[in-house]
Amino acid sequence: MESPDDISILPDVLMPLLEQFYRDSAQDRLFARIRHWQRRTGLQATSARVRSFQSRWVSCDANNTLEFHPRVMELSASVQDYVIVRELCHTVEKNHTKAFWGLVASHMPHWQRYHQVLERAVFGDLV
């Protein structure tokens, strides 16, 4: 990649720096949003952390630990909130059943619009 000043920017140098920036940002902003949504929904995760995945944004494991890909920080705040609410709902309903989506809707009535944005977002398209 070339910059306007003809200085080469090497992706193998830039991407680790960008990922660390996202990890640091998640510690400050994303985790505060998780605490907000836990209070608002009454749903509790065991813990939350940032972890790189090959092809997913977020995961809720069997122990109710929420794991967010660093690039979640590239998503808008409203889509981040949707991802948080969705994963908090997985602490109660593990599968994408009608009950699960009903629980998501009870906390975020317009979840479908954020779901569509997330479905269209592809790693590599956001930076």
Cβ partners under 8 Å of residue 64, min gap 6:
44, 45, 46, 90, 91
Q: What is the pLDDT of residue 4?
A: 62
Q: What is the pLDDT of residue 24?
A: 75
Q: What is the pLDDT of residue 26?
A: 79
In angstroms and rounded to an integer, the radius of gyration of the C-alpha atoms of the chain is 16
Q: What is the pLDDT of residue 108?
A: 98
8 Å CB contact between 103 and 93: yes
Residue 122, judged by CB atoms within 10 A of its CB (0-12, 13-18, 19+), counts as: exposed
8 Å CB contact between 52 and 72: no
Domains and CATH numbers, the chain: 11-120 (3.30.2010.10)
Q: What is the pLDDT of residue 126?
A: 45
Q: Give mean pLDDT in consecutive 10-residue pieces for the chain, a chain of 127 residues.
A: 61 75 79 96 96 85 94 92 98 96 98 94 57
Q: What is the pLDDT of residue 3?
A: 56
Q: What is the pLDDT of residue 20?
A: 76
Q: What is the pLDDT of residue 7?
A: 63
Q: What is the pLDDT of residue 78?
A: 96
